[in-house]
Amino acid sequence: MTFLPPQSHTDLATLFRAADLVAVPSYSESFGLVAVEAQACGTPVVAAAVGGLPVAVRDGITGTLVSGHEVGQWADAIDHLLRLCAGPRGRVMSRAAARHAATFSWENTTDALLASYRRAIGEYNAERQRRGGEVISDLVAVGKPRHWTPRRGVGA
C-alpha cells in the first residue's frame, strides 16, 4: 500500500489505471467521487458501505462494499477482490466499473436534473389547472444545447 501526496488530474488517472484496486474506507461520504474516478479508469473499488458509496460502487459488479471498519473485514475484502481481479472476472469488473462511472457524467447528471425539473413543473401545472390557476412554462427550452466549462458551470 502506498500513500501519496495530492496529484495532478493526469497523474491521478495514471495512478488509478496502474492500481489493482482502490480502497475508500470512509466513515462518512456524501457522494464517493474518488470511487467514481477510480472506476472511470477501469479500476475496481473496495469501499465502506456508507453515505453515497453504495451508489458509487455496485457491490460485486464494480467493486466490493464493506459493511464495517474492522481491519479483518477490510483485509478479507481486499484479498477477495485482488484474487477475483487476477482472473477473467477482473476484466469483466474493470469494464463494468468504467461503464458505471460513465453514468455519473455531467451530461447524464444535467439530463437527470432537467428531467426532475420538468416533472416537478408538470405536476405543479397539473395541480394549478385542477384548481383553475395559471400554469408556468417549462424552465428549459426543449432541445436547447447545454454548455459546460469549468469556469461557468452548466448552462441550460
The number of folded domains in the chain is 2
**DSSP 8-state code for residue 147:** E
Domain final residue, candidates 59, 79, 102: 102
Residues 41 and 86 both lie in one domain: yes
Adjacent-strand bridge partners of 64? 46
Q: Is residue 2 part of a domain?
A: no
Q: pLDDT tens string for the chain (156 positions)?
A: 778 899 999 999 999 999 999 999 999 999 999 999 999 999 999 999 999 999 999 999 999 999 999 999 999 999 999 999 999 999 999 999 999 999 999 898 898 899 899 898 888 888 888 888 776 665 555 455 555 555 555 554
Residues 120 and 84 both lie in one domain: no
Q: Is residue 1 part of a domain?
A: no
pLDDT of amino acid 38: 97
Q: Is residue 119 part of a domain?
A: yes
Phi-psi label, residue 153: left if phi above 0, alpha if psi -120 to 50, beta otherwise: left
CB count in 10 Å sphere of residue 27: 8
pLDDT of amino acid 156: 45
Residues 63 and 83 both lie in one domain: yes
Helix (H, G, I), strand (E, B) or coil at 127: helix
pLDDT of amino acid 74: 98
**For position 37, which CATH number holds?**
3.40.50.2000
- To the question of pTM greater than 0.85 for the whole model, the response is no
